[in-house]
Amino acid sequence: MAKAKTQFICQNCGTVHSRWAGKCEGCGEWNTIVEEDPMGGIGGGPGKTPKKGRAVTLTALSGEIEEAPRIPTGMAELDRATGGGFVRGSAVLIGGDPGIGKSTLLMQAAAALSRKGHRVIYVSGEEAVAQVRLRAQRLGAADTDVLLAAETNVEDILATISEGKRPDLVIIDSIQTLWSDTADSAPGTVTQVRTGVQAMIRFAKQTGATMVLVGHVTKEGQIAGPRVVEHMVDAVLYFEGDRGHHYRILRTVKNRFGPTDEIGVFEMSDKGLREVANPSELFLGERNEKAPGAAVFAGMEGTRPILVEVQALVAATSLGTPRRAVVGWDSSRLAMILAVLEAHCGVRLGQHDVYLNVAGGYRISEPAADMAIASALVSSLAGLALPADCVYFGEVSLSGAVRPVSHTGQRLKEAEKLGFSAAVLPAASAELPKGSTGKWREVDSLPDLVAQIAGSRLKARNDQEDG
C-alpha cells in the first residue's frame, strides 16, 4: 500500500485525519481541516534518514533542585497569574481573541521589565515598527530600552535574538505569523506554527531566556489556534473579556511552575491596561438595591474572593415554549436550578420566560453560585427585592439540599470588607470567621431559602393561579 504523502490536520485542535472532511471529529468544528505536508514538521514521523542515537546520562529522582528563578514584572496582576513572575528558560503562551489587548499587555510588561534593567526583545510579526512605536508612545513606554524587531521568519528571528547579550525576555507577537524554511506548508498552518514554536522553546531552554508567545484564538479554520501548541509550552494564559466591557481577565490554564486557578484583572483605558487590585468593586458596579431579581454572589477565583451581582428577570411568557436566556453562566446549570425549584419548592416557572445575567460581563464557573441564582430567580418571581447588604453562596443538589462549599471564611471576609453585613450560606459550613459581627444565616435546603425570601407570597400566587 502506498503511504499517504500528505495529512489533513484540523487547524483548531490539531487532530490528524487521513482524508478531508467538512467537520473535525476531534473538536466538532466545521471547515477547519487543511491539507498539509508533514515532512520536516513536528509529528511527521521519520521523514528523513534516522540518525544514530546518543545515550544520555540517566539520573535519580532525588537530588538537588534549583528553585525556579523568576523575573517578576512588578505588575501585580500579571505576576499573580504567572505564579510570581516569568520563569527563566520557560515558554509562556498568551492566547486571546484578536483585539482583546494582548500586544498592549505585553508591551507594558516589556517596558516594566526593561525599566528594571532586563534585556527585553519584542518581535512583532503583525505590526510594522512604526505601529509598535506608536503604541509604545501611547503607553508611556517609548523611553525604555525595549529592543524591537518586525520579523516573521523563524531562522532570522533566532539569528537576531542569539546575537549579543542573552535576552532575559523575548516576546513573539504572534505565533501565527511565524514561518520556517524547513516546513513546507503555508504560514499559519499547524505544521508551521508548531515548527516555529518548537524552535522558540528550544532557544528558551538552551539560553535561559523567557519566551512569551502570543497566539490569537481563531474562529475560522484557515489559521491554527493556540490550542495546537498548548502541550508544548510551560504555561498557558488566556486573556479574556467582553468587547462591550472595559475589564480584562488574564486566566491561567496551565502552569508547570505555579497554580493554575489564578486570575489577574485589568481595566482598559486610553493609556493602556490598569491593574484592578479589588475586582469586587468592579463587578458590583452601580447597584440598584431596591430592584427585585438581583443577588450578590460571594465567589472565588483561585485564591481570591470576588463578589459579583447576578440578575434574574422572570416574566410571564407569551410563547408556547418559554424562553431561557443566560449570559455569564452555564445554561444547563440554570435548567437544573429551575427544575429543583419547580419539583421541591413549589416555584412554578413553566409559564415564565427566564433571563439571567451576570453583571459586568463576568463569567461564573463555580457551582457555589447556585444559591445566589436561585435567590435572584425567586426574588424576581415574587417581586420582592433581596436585602441589599446580603451575599449568597452554596451549591444546590438535585434533591433540593444545600451543600457547603470551600473557602467560606474568605468569602465572608471579602463580603464584610465591602460593607455586606449578612450572608445566606449552607448549614454546616466550616471556617466561619470568629468574632465577626455579621449575620450569617444558614440554610440546609432550597425550600428553606425560598420560604425565607418569598414567605407566603408564592403560595398565594399559586393558589390564585389554580383558581
273 binds ligand TYD, rule: CB under 6 A: yes
Give the CB-nearest residue to ligand TYD: 101
- Closest separation in Å from C-beta 252 to ligand TYD: 18
Q: List 307's β-bridge partners, or say none.
A: 298
**49 interface partner picked from Mg ion, ligand TYD, none, CB below 5 to 8 A per type:** none
Q: How many chain residues interact with ligand TYD (CB under 6 A)?
A: 13
Of 114 and 176, nearer to Mg ion (C-beta) is 176
- Residue with smaller CB distance to ligand TYD, 270 or 286: 270
What does 101 bind: Mg ion, ligand TYD, none (CB cut-off 5 to 8 Å by kind)? ligand TYD
**Cα(210)–Cα(109) distance, integer angstroms:** 13
Q: Is 232 exposed, middle or buried (0-12, 13-18, 19+ CB in 10 A)?
A: middle
DSSP 457: H
- Of the two residues 111 and 405, which places its CB atom closer to Mg ion in the complex? 111
Backbone angles phi, psi at 236, to 5 degrees: -125, 120
Q: How far is the CB of 139 from Mg ion (least distance, A)?
A: 13
Does residue 177 bind Mg ion (CB under 5 A)? Answer: no
Q: Which of 57, 59, 62, 269 binds ligand TYD (CB under 6 A)?
A: 269
178 binds ligand TYD (CB under 6 A): no
Q: Is 152 in the site for Mg ion (CB under 5 A)?
A: no
> Using CB under 6 A, which of the segments 109-117, 270-278, 316-324, 340-348 binds ligand TYD?
270-278
Handedness of CA 348, 444, 374, 370 (dihedral sign): negative
Give the nearer residue to ligand TYD in terms of CB position, either 12 or 104: 104
Contact call for residue 225 and ligand TYD (CB under 6 A): no
Q: How far is CA 408 from CA 43, 307, 340, 372, 405, in A?
A: 47, 13, 24, 15, 7
Instruction: Round to whole Å and give the CA distance between 216 and 357.
Output: 27
Cis upstream peptide for 90 (omega within 30°): no
Q: By CB under 6 A, name the one of 104, 176, 180, 429 that touches ligand TYD.
A: 104
The residue behind cell 516546513 is 183
CA gap 111, 126 in Å, rounded = 19
| Residue 101 interacting with ligand TYD (CB under 6 A) | yes
Nearest alpha-carbon partner for 341 in 382, 386, 285, 384: 382
Scanning the structure block, which residue is given the C-alpha cell 467538512?
Answer: 22
User: Closest distance between ligand TYD and the C-beta of residue 274, in Å?
Assistant: 7
Q: Does 103 bind ligand TYD (CB under 6 A)?
A: yes
- Alpha-carbon gap, residue 330 to 309, rounded angstroms: 16
Query: Which residues make Cβ contacts (< 8 Å) with residue 319, sequence separation at least 6?
Result: 353
Q: Which range in 32-40, 265-273, 398-406, 449-457 contacts ligand TYD by CB under 6 A? A: 265-273
250, 263 Cβ separation under 8 angstroms: yes
Q: Which of 74-82, 102-110, 147-155, 275-283 is the region at the interface with Mg ion (rule: CB under 5 A)?
A: 102-110
Choose between 171 and 458: whose C-beta lies nearer to ligand TYD.
Answer: 171
Closest of 192, 183, 236, 231 to residue 213, by C-alpha: 236
Residue type, 167: P
Binds Mg ion by CB under 5 A, chosen from 103, 379, 408, 445? 103
* Interface ranges with ligand TYD (CB under 6 A): 96, 98-104, 268-270, 272-273
* Interface ranges with Mg ion (CB under 5 A): 103
